Structure 1
Amino acid sequence: MSSIDLNELKRRMDGAINAFKHDIASLRTGRASANILDPVHVEAYGSRVPLNQVANITVPEPRMLGVNIWDRSMVQAVDRAIRESNLGLNPIVEGQNLRIPLPELNEERRKSLVKVAHEYAEKAKIAARNVRRDGMDALKKAEKDGDMGQDESRSTSEKVQKMTDDTIVEIDRLLQDKEKEIMQV
């Protein structure tokens, strides 16, 4: 039996796709999404914590985010964290709630978001290729050690390559969808 676990390689390649999906979900498009605030960390109780650990984030309207802060003493810290997050957002404070209107995206901002999406895609493809490399190295070693014959090694190596190609096709498809979504006015 081969000493290379194709399921493990598949799991790791799926991991690259899932990480990419998470990265592009945080890219702001014309529609509001609670994921936009994922990168925001708040100074709370002596440490930096993700925003979603001190507040509920809602999407009451397509171009508006709502942030309901659990502890009244945290309102200023949350407001400051969102303003300083480089997301270009200006919260409106209403008691323990923040309303965050999402500005229209201009052409320049859309293009820079597409560029960031491409960087995320490249990172995901590199991760998938690294998984392939690990698999191919394991195959060569198994063949060299006599744990696997040449035919089995070649056939398994073709499966690993197909898995890699499929992963990269999926990343490209997700990137295209995100690009359309970003450029949609």
Structure 2
Amino acid sequence: MTTATKALLMLDYQVALCEEGPHLRMPPLAAQIAERGVLATAERVLAAARAAGTLVVHVRLAFDPSYRLRTNRLPRFGPYEEQRAMLAGSPEARIVEALAPIDGEPVVDKGCVDPFVGTPLRDVLAAEGVTEVVLGGVATNLVVESAARHASDSGLQVTVVEDMCASFRPEFHAFSVTNMLPLFGSVTGSAELAF
């Protein structure tokens, strides 16, 4: 097996967060994703990564039926358990169809904002020889920022693809990509990205 030095991390592109319909949990986020054309951009980047043979790892918020494996115990995460929401096998936790994993692409389930906490993600990347992660996801100021911080602190090079990201409000996204994310890696557009 060959090892990769770069991996594309697809962060929280889930039905409940991204798509209008009966499973939508966060309408303001879905509205920004649609307005910015995030899913179409993510689909193009994903296709380019696959064509280049780049390791693709999908990450999603998905809980076990007991909700005890969730690492975030803050009150704002309480409604997930109360409403039996975002269960691993549920339609709302599913990755959107256009970005669905293909054979050979791992899916990492997390129980908090940070995709590295309580998951095997860092170990998987190390086993594959990954030294750089390319990040795209929603919301910019939550999972993307958390991933960038953790990855850079773990010794990985970080590239954030700005137009693969969105947040609940345009100013949240703008503040993150202008002020926070550059502290942890480089921020680029999909047109400038190469695998």
- TM-score over 0.5 for the alignment? no
With normalisation by structure 1, the TM-score equals 0.23
Determine which structure has more spread, i.e. the larger CA radius of gyration.
Answer: 1
With normalisation by structure 2, the TM-score equals 0.22
